[in-house]
């Protein structure tokens, strides 16, 4: 029975191997993935709104104060721009 007293968890002694370190890493990874997903979502929203400009009628464009040529120029821009 005395031998059981000498067994230790060696993972707790290694720097960076603590469970709180792993949890911090997972939190940072989740935050980064969420940030990337939000960025991609905003880029796709921008692309959808630019395509919607191309589908608007002249009356609708006039209501929002944009000319047909401005809408065409904006609608053809790449989503990352």
CA triplet 79, 62, 75: central angle to 5 degrees?
15
**Under a CB-based contact definition with an 8 Å cutoff, are residues 47 and 81 in contact?**
no
Is residue 46 classed as helix, strand or coil in its secondary structure?
A: helix
Q: What are phi and psi of 15, to 5 degrees?
A: -65, 135
Report, as ranges of residue numbers, the positions in the chain whose pLDDT lies below 50.
17
Which pLDDT does position 81 carry in this prediction?
Answer: 84
Nearest to 75 by CA among 42, 55, 51, 57: 51
Single pTM value for the model: 0.61
Which pLDDT does position 4 carry in this prediction?
Answer: 59
């Amino acid at each position: 029975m005395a031998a059981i007293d000498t067994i230790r968890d060696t993972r707790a002694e290694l720097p960076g191997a603590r469970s709180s370190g792993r949890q911090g890493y997972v939190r940072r990874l989740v935050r980064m993935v969420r940030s990337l997903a939000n960025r991609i979502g905003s880029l796709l929203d921008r692309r959808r709104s630019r395509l919607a400009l191309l589908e608007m009628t002249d009356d609708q464009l006039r209501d929002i104060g944009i000319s047909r040529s401005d809408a065409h120029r904006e609608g053809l821009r790449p989503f990352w721009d």
